[in-house]
Amino acid sequence: MTPPTPAKTGLSALPRGIWVLGLVSMAMDVSSEMIHALLPVYLVAVLGASTLTVGFIEGIAEATASLVKIVSGTLSDRLGTRKWLAVLGYGLAAFTKPIFPLAPSVAWVTAARFVDRIGKGIRGAPRDALAADIAPPDMRGAAFGLRQSLDTVGAFLGPFLAVVLMWASGGSYVLVFWVAVVPAFVAVALLVFGVEDVARPAAEGDPDDPVDGRVPLGGAFWGVVAVAAVFGLARFSEAFLVLKASAVGLPATLVPLVLVVMNVVYAIAAYPAGALSDKAGRTAPLLVGLAVLIAGDLALAFADGLVLAAVGVAAWGLHMGLTQGVITALVADAAPASRRGTAFGIFNFVTGVAALGASLLAGGLWDAFGAQATFLTGAGFAVLTALGVAVLRRARANCRRAGGAAAKQGAKPRKF
């Protein structure tokens, strides 16, 4: 008698599509970060751009991506396809990559960055909604955590490869840019051939959630968005971590290690945090992550040497690992299945605007009052976010109790 095959657990239990989506994100991040790590210096030193021009290019590019996210998410709900919108977004990004080594002027680079960010805006919400469609409801946290881990591996592997290639080639920007083309097209191929679109029925069998895009997003979703917006104000650009490390004595040649340390910790923590949220609830790792962020901000606020600054940087990476995949899973939990694309588009737009506001506020506080004011303000917003998460936790508990009572009476439980 053949013994029964043991059920898969952990990472092996995740659907293949989740792994492929994670590898797609990783490959595109390797490509993009290889270019972006060098692009500001290339624009100024090689193409003769001013720093104001560099800021203008980046500002326009990111604003464009934020606006497109809402449209693409809603479109994926209306058209009934997530995969091919994601393919379009990744494809646009891939086809811009050869422009960077070929660009004869700043105008060409500006156009490439603009189209690249349009691609990012198009792919984000459909990709996240597709991941939510593919992942079993009881493994969403693990699924988003894995994708976030692989994405973050690409975020630090790209700059590392750029440094190695610059050293090996004697400083050839063009060579690095050409090498970056390869993983971009690998990402597109993986998505085209490795992921199947999902026919989306009513949300988890809910007949009141037809696939027509008309069902309201609901208060649970908007509560998550509100908390995420405040959280965004607590998370200003990682550039301020670099500035702090430099201010306490880190040599310029070692400054890239700040982001390497942060992203390594982030990548290691993201999947376990997501898997934990599937078992212990979403809000538990969020609250722990916020406590870690507060501790990291306090360490950075009062750091006068490299050791305490390093602790603060590592804490930032840990808080991102504990929170980013989990809050994405919360969006998937709260949004109706037929409107997940719209939900992720709104969520990404709101958090993007909040991140921009946070960085502007952080920079203003730094200039006016110094680094300590920036990090203490960040800690204050993290405290406010924790209060919001506590409210969400109570709401989810109330919904579970109401759901249990409704099930006993044969009624439909409230979602969330």
Residue that is written with structure tokens 């053949």 in the block: 2
Cα(297)–Cα(316) distance, integer angstroms = 8
Which region among 44-48, 156-160, 257-261, 366-370 has the lowest average model confidence (pLDDT)?
A: 44-48
Helix axes 283-302, 218-234, angle to 10 degrees: 20
The per-residue pLDDT for 321 is 93
Name the band, by pLDDT with cuts 50, 70 and 90, for residue 249: confident
Q: Across residues 194-219, what is the average pLDDT?
A: 61
Residue that is written with structure tokens 């936790």 in the block: 393
Mean pLDDT of the chain: 82
The per-residue pLDDT for 411 is 44
Buried b or exposed e, range 322-332, using 16+ CB within 10 angstroms: bbbbbbbbbbb
Q: Across residues 210-216, what is the average pLDDT?
A: 56
Name the band, by pLDDT with cuts 50, 70 and 90, for residue 97: very high
State yes or no: pLDDT of 201 exceeds 60: no
Cα(283)–Cα(416) distance, integer angstroms = 13
Q: Across residues 266-283, what is the average pLDDT?
A: 90
Most confident of 50-54, 60-64, 69-73, 146-150: 146-150
Which region among 132-141, 185-194, 402-411 has the lowest average model confidence (pLDDT)?
A: 402-411
Q: Across residues 379-396, what is the average pLDDT?
A: 88
Name the band, by pLDDT with cuts 50, 70 and 90, for residue 367: confident
CB contact at 8 A, 191 and 90: yes
Percent of the chain with pLDDT strictly greater than 90: 32
State yes or no: pLDDT of 406 exceeds 60: no
Residue 81, SS3? Answer: coil
Q: Across residues 176-184, what is the average pLDDT?
A: 94
Most confident of 37-51, 195-209, 240-254, 372-386: 372-386
And the tokens for 119?
A: 């691609």
State yes or no: pLDDT of 57 exceeds 80: no
Name the band, by pLDDT with cuts 50, 70 and 90, for residue 50: low
Could you tell me the CA-to-CA distances from 277 to 80, 144, 153, 270, 317 in Å, in that order?
A: 29, 11, 21, 11, 18
The per-residue pLDDT for 414 is 41
Which region among 57-66, 138-147, 318-327, 400-409 has the lowest average model confidence (pLDDT)?
A: 400-409
The per-residue pLDDT for 179 is 94
The per-residue pLDDT for 215 is 65
The per-residue pLDDT for 206 is 47
State yes or no: pLDDT of 139 exceeds 60: yes
The per-residue pLDDT for 63 is 66
Other Cβ atoms less than 10 A from the Cβ of 387: the count is: 11
The per-residue pLDDT for 270 is 92
The per-residue pLDDT for 3 is 47
- H helices of 208-256, in order, are 218-234, 239-247
And the tokens for 13?
A: 């239990």
State yes or no: pLDDT of 55 exceeds 80: no
The per-residue pLDDT for 205 is 44
The per-residue pLDDT for 253 is 62
Q: Across residues 202-209, what is the average pLDDT?
A: 46
Most confident of 92-106, 125-139, 174-188: 174-188
The per-residue pLDDT for 203 is 43
Cα(120)–Cα(124) distance, integer angstroms = 6
Most confident of 63-77, 161-175, 375-389: 375-389
The per-residue pLDDT for 401 is 57
Other Cβ atoms less than 10 A from the Cβ of 390: the count is: 14
CB contact at 8 A, 118 and 92: yes
pTM value is 0.78
State yes or no: pLDDT of 223 exceeds 70: yes
215: left (phi over 0), alpha (psi -120 to 50) or beta: beta
Cα(177)–Cα(70) distance, integer angstroms = 30
State yes or no: pLDDT of 31 exceeds 60: yes
The per-residue pLDDT for 397 is 65
